[in-house]
Amino acid sequence: SDILDHPLTEAPTIPGWKKIAAGKVREIFIPENAAGIKSADKLLLVATDRISAYDFVLDTPIPGKGAVLTQLSRWWFDQLSGVVATHNLDEDVPTEVAGRAMVTRRLEMYPVECVARGYLTGSGLTEYEDHGSVCGIPLPPGLVEASKLSEPIFTPAIKAELGEHDENVSADRIAQLHGRAVAKNLTDLTLLIYRKAAEIAAERGIILADTKFEFGAEPGMAVRGENVADGAKSFILADEVITPDSSRFWPADKWVEGKVTPSFDKQFVRDWLTSPASGWDRRGETKPPALPAEVVARTSERYLEAYRILTGKSLV
């Protein structure tokens, strides 16, 4: 299929739209006639096939990855439609980016990475080992890598300076920065959506170990202070949702408390990059080398598999 035969490293020109930003993986377009992002009513979010590992964007694209990120997000937005308002406008996308793009409402974003964790790993585990708590939430002693938490926790982060890692903060800090109503709504929605999604994933043999959401408000409806007039306009689920790039998916049958569970998607990439075969030094300054065809093929298959397992449908 076209999606697999022509991996995309950079979004093409798209008639009617202009590019205003590019992240590590995705590129953002606004309608051509909009003066700037603040005057745009909608966005076109395009997922390329770029992959990042160890904070580098690799030179080698992964066929099918962008399509999986987009189609999986769309599928989750459908699953969550009764749970929270979402930014998905469910419109057809330009043929140039068919299958890999989504038209969304343009929102005023709350600058908070809303992370939910049901299991302890990564930066959450590091913080627990140092402080016995994560983002100000005390946890019982004796937890280890991949321990299941008795209840999922809200562990927000705020964007650090360019080039720095996001900073984990407490929900109280979010309240100081953005008001109590914002902190409470982001907390409650994040945990509500996480629980629902984790249940759906569990039915399919996947552990949703953790995931990150971003929320926005209709222009002019962003909340500050104590009161929320209309939640459905002030707290809207945005960005990508519950994809391998925003979440840790673990195969339930591979999970062992105390052991690092290989991430579903990037396992082969990370294994190869850190093996002698790559000749790359993770602690050095140089960027990683191009990936061999076999690593690309296996990684591509993993993304497609994640989509198949979760949605029950084949992408191509």
Binding residue count for ligand ATP, defined by CB under 6 A: 16
Strands (DSSP E) found in 58-158? 101-105, 108-109, 114-119, 133-134, 137-138, 148-154, 157-158
Interacting residue with ligand ATP among 102, 107, 115, 157 (CB under 6 A): 107
Stretch that binds ligand ATP, among 100-108, 162-170, 249-257, 271-279 (CB under 6 A): 100-108
Q: Which is nearer to ligand ATP, 202 or 232 (CB)?
A: 232
Is 238 a binder of ligand ATP (CB under 6 A)? Answer: yes
What contacts 76, CB < 8 A, 6 or more positions away? 197, 241, 242
User: With binding defined as CB under 6 A, does residue 87 bind ligand ATP?
Assistant: yes
Is 100 an interacting residue with respect to ligand ATP (CB under 6 A)?
A: no
Kindly report the three-state secondary structure assignment for every residue of 235-271: CEEECCCCCCCCEEEEEHHHCCCCCCCCCCCCHHHHH
Residue nearest ligand ATP, CB atom distance: 23
Q: In the numeric block, which tokens belong to residue 5?
A: 């035969």
Spell out a b/e string for 30-55, using b for 16 or more CB atoms within 10 Å of the CB, else e.
bbeebeeeeebebbbbbbbbbbebee
Region from 11-19, 89-97, 102-110, 276-284 binding ligand ATP, contact rule CB under 6 A: 102-110
| Beta carbon nearer to ligand ATP, 52 or 133 | 52
Q: How many CB atoms lie within 10 A of CB 313?
A: 9
Q: Which of 109, 175, 191, 192 binds ligand ATP (CB under 6 A)?
A: 109
* Stretch of 4-12, 22-30, 139-147, 181-189 lying at the interface with ligand ATP (CB under 6 A): 22-30
Site for ligand ATP in 24-83 (CB under 6 A): 24-26, 28, 43
If we measure between CA atoms, which residue out of 79, 74, 105, 116 comes closest to residue 221? 105
- 16 is an interface residue for ligand ATP by CB under 6 A: no
State in angstroms the smallest separation of the CB of 236 from ligand ATP: 7
Residue 113 binds ligand ATP, judged by CB under 6 A:
no
Q: Which of residues 173-232 bind ligand ATP (CB under 6 A)?
A: 214, 216
The residue (of 228 and 238) whose beta carbon lies closer to ligand ATP is 238
Q: How far is the CB of 214 from ligand ATP (least distance, A)?
A: 5
Tell me if 106 contacts ligand ATP by CB under 6 A: yes
The span from the CA of 266 to the CA of 65, in Å, is 11
- Contact between 241 and ligand ATP by CB under 6 A: the answer reads no
Q: Report the residue number, 105 or 117, with the smaller CB distance to ligand ATP.
A: 105
Contacts 24+ apart (CB under 8 A), 257-264: 257/144, 257/145, 257/146, 257/147, 257/148, 258/144, 258/145, 258/146, 258/147, 259/145, 259/146, 260/121, 260/145, 260/146, 261/121, 261/146, 261/207, 261/209, 264/206, 264/302, 264/305, 264/306
Q: How far apart are CA 32 and CA 18, in angstroms?
A: 5
CB of 172 to ligand ATP, least distance (A): 23
Interacting residues with ligand ATP (CB under 6 A): 23-26, 28, 43, 87, 104-107, 109, 214, 216, 238-239
